[in-house]
């Protein structure tokens, strides 16, 4: 069983156990003997099953099990001792078991809340608050249902509740260790890049665009979605003037995957101010990496990108022969872009398909009618790519794959999630059952460039209650905190840095570091054996543990975030800073 399924199974079992105890408590209070015993049996089985899931999760990694071992396990044990033992010989009047069963239910609820609202790392404050809640709720039930506890017991319970509440609140509210959140009022300068050799102007504005015969309200560059395709040759100096006509919430340009100098990175509040309506900003950088990239606004990026403020950036090495097609996939108002296209390609002509996922979730691409090779991922060429046939690829949010093949005499079609988007003629192949290519074993391996790391960071992805803002929110968290309260990762120029990225949530998080490409070292303990993979976007699925590394060679303050942009907006964003 994968760790992701274990996480889900453990949650379901925990809910069953809690519901069983609470249901049993209610049934016994109503003197429904058979119902009580039924509920209690479910709870008992579920509680025992949890021992298995918690141990399995702990073996997969302490991050997945920490609060379950420290908080849920002792509370479940207490539930078993108090309620389970009471029911070994059910009392004649089943109602007298009600308080014990309810106690077990409160214990389960407390542990569940700790997992759902706080998670990793274990917080003594959250644990004590849970204990206080259990003690208080049990005392109240006891008073209501009787038999009245002796004054000593009653006072002890109240004492436990109050002490746990006071300590828990104190610990939960204590100021955390020093947090370094970037707050640069002086943004970095452009730096000298030489005379521009390619100039572009992009004007952002609200627009109505036509998709599949429907008029759709959008935010667009130059009135079109996607925005104009920017192309350059290696060695060009690009100058891109961004104008904002009427996007009230501001606009910037971020060159996704292009490791530009920090001042050109387009992150509002970190590398520049967002450009307000009527203003402009000029970006300049040298194009020295060839490959497939894209640009998008980083101001209210969740809304801005979804509404259409994105486009393709392709940097070509010297002259290109053959057919070169970009396929930027996007969902605009529920409609899929690009619109399907058919192109005549003569047999024998080399074809490069540049697949780009500009959405916030993974897409599945399948190329039918030909064998192909994956020439590059995230703009970096792969080493020794081998031919693949009837194989799909999964591209994470923000990611790019370049597929190459020689056009056969028969038609070829590219399917995205089962829909043909580009073809050379009619193809009717069902691609849904094709296996998915695993890039971690694809192509020719090479020895790792680094044997030691100067700095290591662990990034644990989860959900949790965030009470620091104006309104409480159920945030997407990193190491138990949500933006802007996640401590920055601080590195020195020249450091070799390792990230361990762990997903203990139930959804995929496409991770994206700005300004650097990371080298994939391992996934779930298995080293990457194929071509070196230099990525800027990678899907961390539920239960996944990724190890990646990079050289800190691009000074500045950089965003490091989940590229499911609603997640980033809901807290999953931190910063990498150079000391």
Binding residues for ligand C2O (CB under 6 A): 254, 256, 296, 298, 398, 512, 514, 559, 561, 563
CA distance 240 to 198: 8
Burial class (CB in 10 A: 0-12, 13-18, 19+), 159: exposed
CA distance 114 to 104: 16
Rounded to 5 degrees, φ, ψ at 273 are -85, 150
256 binds, among Cu ion, ligand C2O, none (CB under 5 to 8 A by kind): ligand C2O
- Comparison of 385 and 398: residue with beta carbon closer to Cu ion: 398
Place of tokens 């078991």: 97
- Comparison of 271 and 531: residue with beta carbon closer to ligand C2O: 271
Distance between first and last Cα of the chain: 43
398 binds, among ligand C2O, Cu ion, none (CB under 5 to 8 A by kind): ligand C2O
Query: At closest approach, how far in Å is the CB of 389 from ligand C2O?
Result: 32
514 binds, among ligand C2O, Cu ion, none (CB under 5 to 8 A by kind): ligand C2O
- Comparison of 95 and 541: residue with beta carbon closer to Cu ion: 541
**Rounded (5°) CA angle 350-354-358:** 170
Residue 562 is a binding residue for Cu ion (CB under 5 A): yes
CA distance 312 to 229: 5
564 binds, among Cu ion, ligand C2O, none (CB under 5 to 8 A by kind): Cu ion
CA distance 333 to 91: 61
Q: Which two tokens stand for residue 243?
A: 């104008």
Query: At closest approach, how far in Å is the CB of 37 from ligand C2O?
Result: 56
Single residue of 567, 569, 571, 573 touching Cu ion by CB under 5 A:
567
CA distance 523 to 528: 7
Query: At closest approach, how far in Å is the CB of 301 from ligand C2O?
Result: 7
- Comparison of 363 and 561: residue with beta carbon closer to ligand C2O: 561
- Comparison of 24 and 398: residue with beta carbon closer to ligand C2O: 398
251 binds, among ligand C2O, Cu ion, none (CB under 5 to 8 A by kind): none
562 binds, among Cu ion, ligand C2O, none (CB under 5 to 8 A by kind): Cu ion
Query: At closest approach, how far in Å is the CB of 140 from ligand C2O?
Result: 49
Which whole-number Å values give the CA distances from 448 to 137, 353, 452, 501, 533, in the listed order? 56, 29, 10, 19, 11
Query: At closest approach, how far in Å is the CB of 572 from Cu ion?
Result: 5
Residue 509 is a binding residue for Cu ion (CB under 5 A): yes
Residue 512 is a binding residue for Cu ion (CB under 5 A): no
- Count of residues that bind Cu ion according to CB under 5 A: 4
CA distance 296 to 260: 14
Contact stretch for Cu ion (CB under 5 A) within 36-44, 204-212, 347-355, 555-563:
555-563
Burial class (CB in 10 A: 0-12, 13-18, 19+), 263: middle
Collapsing DSSP to helix, strand or coil, 264 comes out as: helix
- Comparison of 68 and 256: residue with beta carbon closer to ligand C2O: 256
330 binds, among ligand C2O, Cu ion, none (CB under 5 to 8 A by kind): none
């Amino acid at each position: 069983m994968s760790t992701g399924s274990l996480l889900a199974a453990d949650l379901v079992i925990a809910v069953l156990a809690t519901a069983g105890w609470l249901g049993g408590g209610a049934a016994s209070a109503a003197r429904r003997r058979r119902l009580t015993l039924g509920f209690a049996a479910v709870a008992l089985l579920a509680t025992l099953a949890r021992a298995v899931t918690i141990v399995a999760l702990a073996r997969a990694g302490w991050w997945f099990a920490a609060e379950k071992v420290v908080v849920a396990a002792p509370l479940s044990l207490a539930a078993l001792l108090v309620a389970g033992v009471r029911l070994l010989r059910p009392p004649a009047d089943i109602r007298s078991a009600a308080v014990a069963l309810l106690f077990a239910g409160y214990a389960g609820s407390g542990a569940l809340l700790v997992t759902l609202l706080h998670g990793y790392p274990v917080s003594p404050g959250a644990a004590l608050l849970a204990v206080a809640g259990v003690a208080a709720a049990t005392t109240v039930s006891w008073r209501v249902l009787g038999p009245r506890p002796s004054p000593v017991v009653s006072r002890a319970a109240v004492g436990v509740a109050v002490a746990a509440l006071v300590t828990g609140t104190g610990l939960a509210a204590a100021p955390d260790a020093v947090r370094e959140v970037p707050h640069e009022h002086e943004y970095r300068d452009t730096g000298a890049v030489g005379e521009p050799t390619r100039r572009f102007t992009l004007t952002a504005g609200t627009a109505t665009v036509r998709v599949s015969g429907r008029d759709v309200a959008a935010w667009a560059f130059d009135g079109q979605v996607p925005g104009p395709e920017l192309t350059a040759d290696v060695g060009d100096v690009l100058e891109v003037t961004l104008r904002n006509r009427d996007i009230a919430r501001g606009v910037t340009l971020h060159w996704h995957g292009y490791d530009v100098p920090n001042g050109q990175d387009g992150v509002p509040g970190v590398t520049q101010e967002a450009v307000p309506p009527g203003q402009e900003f000029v970006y300049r950088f040298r194009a020295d990496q060839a490959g497939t990239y894209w640009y998008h606004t980083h101001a209210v990026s969740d809304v801005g990108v979804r509404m259409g403020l994105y486009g393709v950036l392709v940097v070509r090495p010297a002259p290109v022969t053959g057919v070169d097609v970009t396929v930027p996939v996007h969902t605009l108002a529920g409609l899929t872009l690009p619109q399907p296209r058919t192109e005549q390609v003569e047999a024998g002509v080399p074809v490069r398909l540049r697949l780009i996922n500009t959405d916030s979730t993974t897409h599945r691409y399948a190329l039918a009618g030909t064998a192909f090779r994956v020439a590059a991922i995230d703009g970096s060429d792969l080493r020794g790519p081998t031919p693949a046939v009837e194989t799909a690829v999964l591209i994470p949010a923000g990611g790019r794959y370049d597929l190459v093949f020689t056009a056969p005499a028969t038609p070829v079609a590219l399917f995205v999630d089962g829909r043909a988007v580009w073809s050379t003629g009619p193809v009717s192949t069902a691609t849904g059952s094709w296996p998915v290519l695993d890039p971690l074993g694809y192509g020719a391996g090479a020895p790792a460039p680094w044997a030691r790391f100067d700095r290591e960071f662990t990034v644990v992805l989860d959900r949790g209650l965030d009470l620091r803002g104006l309104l409480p929110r159920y945030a997407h968290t990193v190491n138990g905190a949500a933006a802007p309260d996640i401590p920055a990762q601080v590195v020195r120029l020249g450091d070799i840095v390792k990230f361990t990225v762990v997903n203990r949530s139930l959804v995929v998080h496409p991770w994206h570091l700005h300004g650097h490409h990371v080298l994939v070292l391992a996934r779930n303990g298995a080293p990457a054996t194929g071509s070196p993979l230099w990525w800027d976007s990678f899907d961390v699925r539920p239960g996944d543990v990724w190890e990646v590394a990079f050289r800190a060679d691009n000074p500045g303050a950089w965003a490091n975030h989940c590229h499911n942009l609603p997640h980033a907006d809901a807290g999953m964003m931190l910063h990498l800073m150079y000391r």
